[in-house]
């Protein structure tokens, strides 16, 4: 049951070394081994997106990635992105537009939104909806989230 694997990786800019059970998912590794509680387990089947984090610059589902496979990887979570200020504008827009209610989906939603704006800086509302279509939010009905992302996209373009 408990085959353990040694991994050394970078999480939010800090190097961590741990022995992890081979079966341990990334989201559990972050939460249980590192105490980073901002990534949430929602469906455990890769559908709801609540556990979305960044690995080597790309967003992944923390419940579908094994920690044992991440030796040498660079992992970024909502805590890291908050501390660097990279998504401060998105976070402020979510607060101002009331695009987060219970907040359980929000970290994953923000990482996915940041990913969209990285790859498509001028998305239409439809493109925003499409890109966020793998992140389940039961509270908002999505409209406010789409508004918030659209507002940030426009503001970033205005600055550019």
User: Is there binding between residue 142 and other proteins (CB under 8 A)?
Assistant: yes
Residue closer to other proteins by CB (options 31, 54) is 31
* Selected binder of other proteins within 50, 70, 75, 117 (CB under 8 A): 50
* Residue 82 found at the interface with other proteins (CB under 8 A): yes
Q: Does 151 interact with other proteins (rule: CB under 8 A)?
A: no
7, 38, 76, 114: which one binds other proteins (CB under 8 A): 38
SS3 for the chain is: CCCEEEEEEEECCEEEEEEEECCCEHHHHHHHHCCCCCCCCCCCCCCCCCCEEEECCEEEECCCCEHHHCCCCEEECHHHHHHHCCCHHHHHHHHHCCCCCCCCCHHHHHHHHHHHHHHCCCCCHHHHHHHCCCCCCCCCCCHHHHHHHHHHHHHHHHHC
What residue ranges bind other proteins (CB under 8 A)?
A: 1, 21, 23, 31, 35-45, 47-48, 50, 77-79, 82, 91, 94-98, 100-107, 110, 125, 128-130, 132-146
């Amino acid at each position: 049951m408990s085959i353990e694997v040694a991994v050394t990786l970078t999480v939010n800019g800090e190097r961590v070394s741990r022995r992890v059970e081979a079966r341990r998912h990334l989201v559990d590794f972050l939460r249980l081994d590192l105490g980073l509680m901002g990534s949430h387990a929602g469906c455990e089947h890769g559908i709801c997106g609540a556990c979305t984090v960044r690995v080597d610059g790309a967003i992944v589902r923390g419940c579908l990635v094994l920690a044992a496979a991440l030796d040498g990887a660079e992992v970024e979570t909502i805590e890291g992105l908050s501390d660097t200020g990279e998504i401060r504008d998105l976070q402020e827009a979510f607060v101002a537009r009331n695009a987060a209610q219970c907040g359980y989906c929000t970290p994953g939603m923000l990482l996915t939104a940041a990913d969209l704006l990285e790859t498509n800086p001028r998305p239409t509302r439809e493109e925003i909806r499409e890109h966020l279509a793998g992140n389940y939010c039961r509270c908002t009905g999505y409209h406010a989230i789409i508004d918030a992302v659209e507002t940030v996209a426009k503001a970033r373009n205005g600055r550019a």
